[in-house]
Structure 1
């Protein structure tokens, strides 16, 4: 199953309720798990594990921001030129696959799942993510993906930094993951094939600072989110905690 990948419509062409600061159908039946947190805290692995265990779809919103960043770099755009980035925000066609076992993302039909994890994209994604026009375009795609999952009755796990606070505030399960900076750096260094943990830690802390202080949709713990420090736990233990939260919510409905 894949999400809608069309450019964001002009706001003037949308119904009034879709211009509001909430998804129009956020009260639709179905399970939405909003999983936010800091870089390297285990969001992706946890989200995919939870989605697989519960039979839900999965959406990596960070991959969408990386995909836009990758495209801008391919075009030779200075990612610090906010005017230029804003003007091009609607140009690339993005499609996100929502299979937790094999998530994909394409830009104009090209699979960029690998290239978006490059060092060049790592270094450029924060300034791109802070541009309001980029966030607005991707917000529309993210809400469309959630609506699609709910319409099929499947439900979805969505990971990012503003899912519970901005993208889908009515999610019945909200989780905020974080971990000790050194632990996050060690995990990320391992994922990247043995990069310098010290340099990785500084990069993560810099990303935290940018994400937490940007003017549009900063990284915050959403109201009602359960906070989990993943530092002392294995991946299976963290997945189990989130699954337990979801099962408790479903038992009450």
Structure 2
């Protein structure tokens, strides 16, 4: 209450205020649309509430109009790119099918396969490694056949770490699977380490490192002996061998 200039108590007046209510948004993932594409299925509309105040007290709240949410379909589909190349491979240069040294990784051989287990469950703090000698400049395919033997193993990472050429694979299968990629060595090395990392327990069947010769890399199919497939957000990507997953034609 308030007092008038004549000393009498004046009753507080109710004040009515209309308040805009923001609308929400619903996102629907759509694998028929490419990433970056979207379709607005329903435009949003603000709502309206009527608030009644008496002084500093909210007396009542009335919904005049419910807000209408905005509904948008957003694309999740990746662009698929296909390339072709002739690939020839030399002999396996790895001295052993297994890794012979490690840091924070236990190593044991069971039934002709090596079990590698991270001691701390961290991908970047656990490593197994071996040495490759007399490595000439060129392209090399590193191929590892492995399967996870614990749920903690969600990724593997391998390659020539000292050259900054490592490849990481996630969603590791519990079925023996071949994982491979091609690295480029820029000069002759008398010796170089190749590394393997995991964040769980992995059964390793074999490691192969073979020099490869790549020719006739093209977007055009001219009967090359390998086909490469890459998926990307971009509609166009550079024609680079390591961007693709390659399979030999049968």
TM-score range, shorter chain: under 0.3
**Structure with greater strand share of residues:** 2
The higher relative CO (CA closer than 8 Å, separation ≥ 6) is in: 1
Using the size of structure 1 for normalisation, the TM-score is 0.21
TM-score by length of 2: 0.21
Which has the larger Rg? 2
